[in-house]
Protein backbone atom coordinates (compact mmCIF):
# COMPACT_ATOMS: atom_id res chain seq x y z
CA UNK A 1 0.00 0.00 0.00
CA UNK A 2 1.31 3.44 -0.93
CA UNK A 3 2.26 5.72 1.91
CA UNK A 4 0.23 8.90 1.59
CA UNK A 5 1.48 11.88 3.57
CA UNK A 6 -0.61 14.99 4.16
CA UNK A 7 1.11 18.36 4.57
CA UNK A 8 -1.57 20.74 5.83
CA UNK A 9 -1.42 24.49 6.18
CA UNK A 10 -2.96 27.80 5.29
CA UNK A 11 -0.05 28.52 2.89
CA UNK A 12 -0.90 32.23 2.90
CA UNK A 13 1.41 32.43 0.96
CA UNK A 14 3.41 29.28 0.39
CA UNK A 15 7.07 30.12 1.13
CA UNK A 16 10.38 28.63 0.06
CA UNK A 17 10.44 26.94 3.46
CA UNK A 18 7.12 25.22 2.72
CA UNK A 19 8.41 24.15 -0.68
CA UNK A 20 11.54 22.72 0.91
CA UNK A 21 9.37 20.62 3.28
CA UNK A 22 7.21 19.42 0.36
CA UNK A 23 10.31 18.38 -1.61
CA UNK A 24 11.77 16.55 1.40
CA UNK A 25 8.48 14.76 2.09
CA UNK A 26 8.18 13.75 -1.59
CA UNK A 27 11.57 12.01 -1.35
CA UNK A 28 10.41 10.02 1.68
CA UNK A 29 6.78 9.13 0.95
CA UNK A 30 5.03 7.64 -2.06
CA UNK A 31 2.54 10.48 -2.34
CA UNK A 32 2.31 13.92 -0.72
CA UNK A 33 -0.87 15.93 -0.58
CA UNK A 34 -0.45 19.63 0.10
CA UNK A 35 -3.72 20.26 1.94
CA UNK A 36 -4.68 23.93 1.87
CA UNK A 37 -6.84 24.80 4.83
CA UNK A 38 -10.20 26.40 4.19
CA UNK A 39 -10.65 28.16 7.52
CA UNK A 40 -12.30 31.57 7.02
CA UNK A 41 -11.89 32.31 10.73
CA UNK A 42 -8.18 32.80 10.05
CA UNK A 43 -8.98 35.67 7.65
CA UNK A 44 -6.40 34.74 5.01
CA UNK A 45 -4.75 37.41 2.90
CA UNK A 46 -5.14 35.33 -0.28
CA UNK A 47 -8.40 33.60 -1.19
CA UNK A 48 -8.65 29.83 -1.04
CA UNK A 49 -8.62 29.66 -4.84
CA UNK A 50 -5.47 31.81 -4.98
CA UNK A 51 -3.70 29.70 -2.36
CA UNK A 52 -4.58 26.50 -4.22
CA UNK A 53 -3.39 28.02 -7.51
CA UNK A 54 -0.10 29.13 -5.92
CA UNK A 55 0.53 25.67 -4.49
CA UNK A 56 -0.28 23.98 -7.81
CA UNK A 57 2.12 26.28 -9.68
CA UNK A 58 4.92 25.61 -7.24
CA UNK A 59 4.65 21.81 -7.01
CA UNK A 60 3.89 21.03 -10.66
CA UNK A 61 7.37 19.54 -11.12
CA UNK A 62 7.03 17.18 -8.17
CA UNK A 63 5.40 14.11 -9.75
CA UNK A 64 4.24 12.46 -6.53
CA UNK A 65 2.67 15.57 -5.01
CA UNK A 66 -0.65 17.25 -5.53
CA UNK A 67 -2.83 19.91 -3.96
CA UNK A 68 -6.18 19.58 -2.26
CA UNK A 69 -8.22 21.57 0.21
CA UNK A 70 -9.95 20.67 3.43
CA UNK A 71 -12.13 22.24 6.07
CA UNK A 72 -13.13 20.95 9.44
CA UNK A 73 -11.03 18.57 11.47
CA UNK A 74 -7.74 17.55 9.92
CA UNK A 75 -8.09 14.01 11.27
CA UNK A 76 -11.37 13.63 9.40
CA UNK A 77 -9.59 14.68 6.21
CA UNK A 78 -6.80 12.18 6.88
CA UNK A 79 -9.33 9.39 7.32
CA UNK A 80 -11.19 10.38 4.15
CA UNK A 81 -7.94 10.28 2.17
CA UNK A 82 -6.92 6.98 3.84
CA UNK A 83 -3.74 8.63 5.08
CA UNK A 84 -1.97 7.98 8.35
CA UNK A 85 1.04 10.28 7.94
CA UNK A 86 0.87 13.94 8.83
CA UNK A 87 3.80 16.19 7.86
CA UNK A 88 4.58 19.20 10.00
CA UNK A 89 7.44 21.61 9.54
CA UNK A 90 9.58 22.76 12.44
CA UNK A 91 11.47 25.98 11.87
CA UNK A 92 12.69 26.82 15.34
CA UNK A 93 12.67 25.16 18.76
CA UNK A 94 9.72 27.26 19.91
CA UNK A 95 7.53 25.57 17.24
CA UNK A 96 7.96 22.24 18.99
CA UNK A 97 5.75 22.95 22.00
CA UNK A 98 2.74 23.90 19.88
CA UNK A 99 3.33 21.12 17.35
CA UNK A 100 3.69 18.51 20.12
CA UNK A 101 0.30 19.55 21.54
CA UNK A 102 -1.34 19.34 18.12
CA UNK A 103 0.26 15.96 17.35
CA UNK A 104 -0.91 14.56 20.69
CA UNK A 105 -4.41 15.88 20.16
CA UNK A 106 -4.58 14.42 16.64
CA UNK A 107 -3.38 11.04 17.89
CA UNK A 108 -6.06 11.11 20.56
CA UNK A 109 -8.73 11.57 17.87
CA UNK A 110 -7.15 9.21 15.30
CA UNK A 111 -4.86 6.66 16.92
CA UNK A 112 -3.37 5.51 13.59
CA UNK A 113 -1.96 8.93 12.70
CA UNK A 114 1.80 9.43 12.79
CA UNK A 115 3.10 12.98 12.78
CA UNK A 116 6.44 13.36 11.05
CA UNK A 117 8.35 16.55 11.75
CA UNK A 118 10.63 17.86 9.04
CA UNK A 119 12.99 20.80 9.30
CA UNK A 120 13.53 23.02 6.30
CA UNK A 121 16.99 23.94 5.14
CA UNK A 122 18.48 26.35 7.67
CA UNK A 123 18.27 29.27 5.24
CA UNK A 124 14.46 29.08 5.51
CA UNK A 125 14.08 28.69 9.25
CA UNK A 126 12.92 32.25 9.83
CA UNK A 127 10.40 32.27 6.95
CA UNK A 128 6.88 32.62 8.33
CA UNK A 129 4.06 33.54 5.97
CA UNK A 130 2.93 36.40 8.20
CA UNK A 131 6.42 37.91 8.24
CA UNK A 132 6.84 37.40 4.51
CA UNK A 133 3.64 39.35 3.81
CA UNK A 134 4.72 42.14 6.14
CA UNK A 135 8.18 42.64 4.67
CA UNK A 136 6.86 42.40 1.11
CA UNK A 137 4.18 44.96 1.94
CA UNK A 138 7.03 47.27 2.94
CA UNK A 139 8.96 46.74 -0.29
CA UNK A 140 11.28 43.77 0.36
CA UNK A 141 11.98 41.63 -2.72
CA UNK A 142 9.46 38.78 -2.54
CA UNK A 143 11.78 36.39 -4.48
CA UNK A 144 13.94 36.17 -1.38
CA UNK A 145 11.14 34.42 0.52
CA UNK A 146 8.76 32.78 -1.95
CA UNK A 147 9.00 30.89 -5.26
CA UNK A 148 8.89 33.09 -8.39
CA UNK A 149 5.20 32.52 -9.31
CA UNK A 150 4.15 33.58 -5.83
CA UNK A 151 6.53 36.55 -5.83
CA UNK A 152 4.74 37.88 -8.92
CA UNK A 153 1.38 37.60 -7.15
CA UNK A 154 2.73 39.36 -4.05
CA UNK A 155 4.19 42.21 -6.11
CA UNK A 156 0.89 42.62 -7.92
CA UNK A 157 -1.06 42.60 -4.66
CA UNK A 158 1.22 45.15 -2.99
CA UNK A 159 1.77 47.45 -5.96
CA UNK A 160 0.33 50.93 -5.49
CA UNK A 161 -3.17 51.27 -6.90
CA UNK A 162 -3.53 53.85 -9.64
List residues with catalytic annotation. Answer: 18, 42, 91, 129
Instruction: Give one DSSP letter per residue of 139-153, joined into a string.
Output: T--GGGTS-HHHHHH
26: number of Cβ within 10 Å: 19
- Residue 66 and residue 40 in contact, taking contact as beta carbons nearer than 8 Å: no
Q: How far apart are CA 123 and CA 39, in angstroms?
A: 29
Residues 6+ apart with CB under 8 A from 60: none
Amino acid sequence: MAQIAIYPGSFDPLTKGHLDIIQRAARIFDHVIVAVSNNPAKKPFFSLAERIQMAELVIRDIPNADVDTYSGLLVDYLKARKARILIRGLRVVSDMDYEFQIASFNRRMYKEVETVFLMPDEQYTYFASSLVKEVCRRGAPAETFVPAPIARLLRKRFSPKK
